[in-house]
Structure 1
């Protein structure tokens, strides 16, 4: 049941521990660890439908037009169609940990050691070669004309309908996540060895940011492509990629959590970052204020009774978050931060 309070736009609950929240236009999807995704109206929290992928869920993403939802999990992937609720389940038995839409018609799935590109009917359009290890993340480059995959030892980039990589960005280690600057200028990976590796796409020149206490599995650019936020410590670090990039600079540090469980930039170029932690804290930051090396404090902070496991912005005016007990809330952007 959905309720409204003075502090939230709406609150509802799902019968699982959420592992991801996905949004597009007027829809929200809450993906549960056991395999069910609940699809809700973004403005009211009212249910639209459910999709179940046997074996559990690891990732969820809507197409840009919100007409389709793609899901991935330990045993395969699935597609949901909004128009009639049709569900296509591909029980491959292969670990699938990421889904990324190139357009309203094409989606990439990290399937074992390969990236698969599907149409909205689940038909395979093409696949990459087999990587040395499981593909951990995907990103689209050049307006959906090139697919980047992360696996052990490199980010490999594939032109459409090509099996072999057109470019490789090498770094000896296990890459856990990719962040691609919207400008197309930078590729970054968060790594098992507690580092961020960065390549300039123009010439392949690279650098590594070392010294994090823990592995980096969450990193994201804002809409401008000038700011990169990442986990890897109790502090979230925010690096400045404007000008010549971050080499020789110091990041801004944001501390509100014992362990970071989610982070997401507010869309619209406002440079507001939302973050959540295992202790139940949700924080909003003016994450690009101050100088390099500054320790920033939350602009807004709220303590919840349970660990927050996922969050996402449903447009610039609404933040949707989910906690370990299945509680899902939508918060309006504070008026002081709405501009």
Structure 2
């Protein structure tokens, strides 16, 4: 890993190059984790980019997540998962042979990983606490609800919700199709899935009523709610669509459209309620948006564009003023941006 000089014109705080191609980013407290396709996950200081630790996962990495207190890191891959402890730098690797695509922390002490057709819930020491019963197919994504007391799991045909220590689901939200991404509103009012059939499916958790937004030209594989739970950003087209979930939700409404990239490869909401969104593209550009401005059916223009030399593979905010970006050629950069109310 090598570190280049910062570019003051673009507000670059640090700029470094990994020997592995980054596929995912995670931020928490004072750390940034960079997961590489070949299985190396680097842990860095968010403020400086200095190396803190390294996690090696045989068979490659697909995802990584720092615990909320930044004391642990869990990484997943095609052959299993690994757990890193900041206190002493130790790594525990579990090579289960099962496809593990997603990991999410419920709190500082518990996390969940997908493991083939099941989801495992473990403590921060790596001990299994409980597991879901097998789904109909490989679990593709998961999310915690109700402050970490309920777990939503996506697999072909349904999103299933599990209470703590209950293998069987307590609530099932059916949809015949392959779910690629799962997003739960911070208010827990809505569960949304991005799907292989180029649609977004939505359930209102209170009564199970549902809605499908179809007609996307491509599969929808990236979904994200902002901190308020009022706005959902999605890929699935050259335009990023931003749906309004205020009031009764998006039924009968049109989204705002954000076009800057021919192919969208990453998106991340800025922390806070101001509606600022960062998107990345295959062309190497990063666009910053006031994504909730205008009216439905509005096509917005970027507030600012940052140029890169390779496809953007991941974006993550380390607080409201530091945007971390990863590129296919191994570059990872941290941009310092204006105050939360400006771009």
Q: Which residue of 2 aligns with 1:184?
A: 188
Q: Which residue of 2 aligns with 1:90?
A: 94
When the two structures are superposed, what TM-score results if normalisation uses the length of structure 1?
0.98
Alpha-carbon distance in structure 2 between the residues aligned to 1:91 and 1:254: 41
**Contact 2:321 / 2:340 at 8 angstroms: preserved in 1?**
no
* Residue 143 in structure 1 maps to residue 134 in structure 2: no
Per-residue CA deviations over 1:169-227 (Å, capped at 9, x if unaligned) read 01110111110000110000000000000000000000100000000010000000000
Q: Which residue of 2 aligns with 1:272?
A: 276
- Give the aligned CA root-mean-square deviation in angstroms: 1.0
Alpha-carbon distance in structure 2 between the residues aligned to 1:137 and 1:59: 11
Q: Which residue of 2 aligns with 1:127?
A: 131
When the two structures are superposed, what TM-score results if normalisation uses the length of structure 2?
0.97
Alpha-carbon distance in structure 2 between the residues aligned to 1:247 and 1:92: 42
**Contact 1:317 / 1:338 at 8 angstroms: preserved in 2?**
no
Q: Which runs of 5+ in 2 are unaligned?
A: none
Q: Which residue of 2 aligns with 1:197?
A: 201
Map 1:292-311; keep pairs closer than 5 Å. Answer: 292-311=296-315
Q: Which residue of 222, 225, 237 maps to 1:233? A: 237
Map 1:245-256; keep pairs closer than 5 Å. Answer: 245-256=249-260
**Contact 2:320 / 2:339 at 8 angstroms: preserved in 1?**
no
Map 1:2-151; keep pairs closer than 5 Å. Answer: 2=3, 3-6=5-8, 7=10, 8-151=12-155
Alpha-carbon distance in structure 1 between the residues aligned to 2:275 and 2:299: 16
Single out whichever of 168-177 and 328-337 deviates more from structure 2. Answer: 328-337
**Contact 1:9 / 1:329 at 8 angstroms: preserved in 2?**
yes
Per-residue CA deviations over 1:74-118 (Å, capped at 9, x if unaligned) read 000000011110100001111000000001000000110001000
Report the count of equivalent residues.
Answer: 339
Alpha-carbon distance in structure 2 between the residues aligned to 1:36 and 1:234: 31
1:196/1:5 CA distance change after superposition, 3 Å: same
* Residue 257 in structure 1 maps to residue 261 in structure 2: yes
Alpha-carbon distance in structure 2 between the residues aligned to 1:257 and 1:70: 31
Alpha-carbon distance in structure 1 between the residues aligned to 2:91 and 2:342: 37
Q: Which residue of 1 aligns with 2:335?
A: 331
Alpha-carbon distance in structure 1 between the residues aligned to 2:178 and 2:339: 42
Deviation at 1:268, TM superposition (A): 1.6
* Residue 211 in structure 1 maps to residue 212 in structure 2: no
Q: Which residue of 1 aligns with 2:322?
A: 318
Deviation at 1:336, TM superposition (A): 8.3
Q: Which residue of 2 aligns with 1:169?
A: 173
**Contact 2:62 / 2:76 at 8 angstroms: preserved in 1?**
yes
Aligned-partner SS, 2:102:
strand
Per-residue CA deviations over 1:214-267 (Å, capped at 9, x if unaligned) read 000100000000000000000000000000000000000000011111000001
Aligned-partner SS, 2:101:
strand
Alpha-carbon distance in structure 2 between the residues aligned to 1:253 and 1:160: 39
Deviation at 1:43, TM superposition (A): 0.3
Alpha-carbon distance in structure 1 between the residues aligned to 2:167 and 2:89: 33
Runs of 4+ deviating beyond 2 Å? 1-5, 334-339
Deviation at 1:271, TM superposition (A): 1.0
Q: Which runs of 5+ in 1 are unaligned?
A: none
Aligned-partner SS, 1:143:
helix
Alpha-carbon distance in structure 2 between the residues aligned to 1:204 and 1:224: 21
